[in-house]
């Protein structure tokens, strides 16, 4: 089976497991896990922020900034397809009380002028804007840096916090050659996932100022995310940052090859093809395409009426060639079978 469902299905390699086995540990709730501390220092250096905090998941990394800087009855500006709106069980509403306000976007990328227009100042009967949320990459697409700079400038003028959901920020960075710290400079905090394309079993890291991280640590505890000897997992994160970042380029090359093969078929209309992700529409029902490919050993998902293909270290260059051959040889009769 070729697994193109998500980069969350990646497995820790033998080398990563060795790093986990030999990790030094301590009680991280007391700040005494040396491996966790080292990972946090690395993340702070990479993002160019003062301090970093390991969090259980990307969802927690998104929720905590909403608890600290969003607030109850306040508005966060974001795109309709953003993860906080689509895939987090409404946590920013139910747990931080923040109201997501959808800004028009081009497949998730908000134009700075539209963000500006959506800001609410004070009115006795309106919720006020407190935050702007940008997702980078969004559906695989790196956010244009000039947009991010402009959005940050607007936020500063209105004293708004900018949270960057950088779950796949390393995919953006290796693709554009823009350092993670340059993207992160356009936000007040940034979270990234270790558990996706970087191949770790768990964790995200949240980075910002000392003051913010001090508060974030309390929120993490409140959410049940204070963990003990997490060096075992943090070691996987260190390994990933040292070995699995540059290799994301291979995933992007494989994505480009599969995208070209799809484009030639006549039954797939590419909507987004960027970094490690492809979204496509078809004149055939997507679920029938998904099941036809499943029969041939190629797994991918249906998302928002489109086929969604995600490349990761699960798929080699040789696998990609075979997947492309399966795509080229697919008979559309199989879509109605
Ligand atoms: C996966 C993802 C998250 C959430 O990460 P989990 O670790 O699954 O909670 C947040 N934002 C984006 C953009 C993601 O892709």
Residues 61 and 186 in one domain: yes
Nearest to 178 by CA among 48, 83, 82: 48
| Cα(42) to centroid(ligand 1), Å | 21
| Nearest atom, ligand 1, residue 59 CA | 9
202 inside domain: yes
Q: What is the pLDDT of residue 134?
A: 98
| Cα(337) to centroid(ligand 1), Å | 35
120 inside domain: yes
| Nearest atom, ligand 1, residue 204 CA | 7
- Euclidean distance between CA atoms 285 and 222, whole angstroms: 44
325 inside domain: yes
Contact 129, 98 (CB under 8 A): no
Residues 239 and 271 in one domain: no
Provide the CATH number for the domain around residue 324.
3.90.1150.10
Residues 144 and 202 in one domain: yes
| Nearest atom, ligand 1, residue 202 CA | 7
Residues for the chain: how many in total? 337
The domain boundary, picked from 243, 265, 300, lies at: 243
As a whole number of Å, the end-to-end CA separation of the chain is 20
The domain boundary, picked from 203, 227, 243, lies at: 243
Ligand 1 pocket check: which of 56, 57, 58, 237 to mutate, most ligand atoms within 8 Å of Cβ?
58
Q: What is the pLDDT of residue 231?
A: 98
| Domains in the chain, number | 2
| Cα(195) to centroid(ligand 1), Å | 9
Residues 112 and 212 in one domain: yes
Tokens linked to 190: 């940034």
251 inside domain: yes
5 inside domain: no
4 inside domain: no
- Euclidean distance between CA atoms 163 and 49, whole angstroms: 13
Nearest CA to ligand 1 atom 4: 58
Residues 260 and 305 in one domain: yes
Nearest to 88 by CA among 167, 3, 168, 190: 167
| Nearest atom, ligand 1, residue 60 CA | 9
| Cα(194) to centroid(ligand 1), Å | 10
Using a 6 Å CB cutoff, which residues line ligand 1? 57-59, 62, 83, 135, 165, 167, 193, 195, 204
The domain boundary, picked from 243, 271, 303, lies at: 243
Q: What is the pLDDT of residue 325?
A: 98
Q: How distant, in Å, are the alpha carbons of 259, 284, 303, 321 from that of 293?
A: 15, 13, 16, 15
Q: What is the pLDDT of residue 312?
A: 98
6 inside domain: no
7 inside domain: no
The domain in which residue 272 lies consists of 247-336
Residues 135 and 274 in one domain: no
Residues 178 and 311 in one domain: no
Residues 287 and 212 in one domain: no
Residues 173 and 286 in one domain: no
Residues 145 and 287 in one domain: no
> Does the predicted TM-score (pTM) go above 0.85?
yes
- Euclidean distance between CA atoms 115 and 88, whole angstroms: 22
Q: What is the pLDDT of residue 336?
A: 85
| Nearest atom, ligand 1, residue 58 CA | 5
Provide the CATH number for the domain around residue 109.
3.40.640.10
Q: What is the pLDDT of residue 120?
A: 86
Ligand 1 pocket check: which of 84, 87, 205, 237 to mutate, most ligand atoms within 8 Å of Cβ?
87
Q: What is the pLDDT of residue 140?
A: 98
| Cα(276) to centroid(ligand 1), Å | 15
Residues 269 and 225 in one domain: no
Mean pLDDT by 10-residue block, N- to C-terminus, for the chain (337 residues)? Answer: 97 98 98 98 98 98 98 96 96 96 98 96 91 98 98 98 98 98 98 98 98 98 97 98 98 98 97 98 97 97 96 97 98 90
Residues 52 and 103 in one domain: yes
């Amino acid at each position: 089976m070729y697994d193109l469902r998500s980069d969350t299905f990646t497995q820790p390699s033998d080398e990563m497991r060795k790093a986990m086995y030999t990790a030094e540990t301590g009680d991280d709730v007391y700040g005494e896990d040396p491996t966790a501390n080292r990972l946090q220092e690395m993340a702070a250096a990479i993002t160019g922020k003062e301090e970093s905090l390991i969090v259980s998941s990307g969802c927690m990394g998104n929720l905590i900034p909403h608890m600290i800087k969003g607030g109850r009855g306040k508005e966060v500006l974001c795109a309709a397809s953003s993860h906080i709106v689509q895939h987090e069980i409404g946590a920013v509403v139910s747990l931080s009380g923040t109201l997501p306000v959808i800004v028009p976007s081009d497949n998730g990328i908000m134009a700075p002028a539209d963000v500006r227009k959506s800001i609410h100042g004070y009115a006795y009967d309106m919720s006020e804007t407190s935050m702007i949320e940008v997702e980078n990459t969004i559906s695989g697409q790196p956010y244009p840096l000039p947009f991010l700079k402009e959005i940050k400038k607007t936020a500063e003028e209105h004293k708004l916090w900018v949270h960057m959901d950088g779950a796949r920020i390393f995919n953006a960075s290796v693709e554009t050659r823009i350092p993670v710290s340059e993207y992160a400079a356009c936000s007040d905090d940034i979270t990234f996932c270790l558990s996706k394309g970087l191949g770790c079993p768990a964790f995200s890291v949240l980075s910002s100022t000392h003051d913010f991280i001090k508060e974030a640590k309390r929120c993490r505890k409140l959410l049940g995310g204070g963990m003990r000897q997490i060096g075992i997992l943090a070691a996987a994160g260190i390994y990933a940052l040292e070995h699995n970042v540059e290799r994301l380029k291979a995933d992007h090359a494989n994505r480009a090859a599969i995208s070209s093969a799809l484009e030639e078929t006549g039954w797939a209309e590419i909507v987004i093809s960027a970094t490690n992700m492809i979204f496509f529409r078809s004149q055939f029902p997507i679920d029938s395409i998904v099941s036809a490919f499943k029969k041939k050993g190629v797994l991918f998902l249906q998302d928002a009426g489109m086929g969604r293909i995600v490349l990761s270290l699960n798929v080699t260059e040789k696998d990609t060639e075979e997947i492309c051959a399966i795509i080229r040889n697919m008979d559309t009769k199989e879509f109605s079978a």
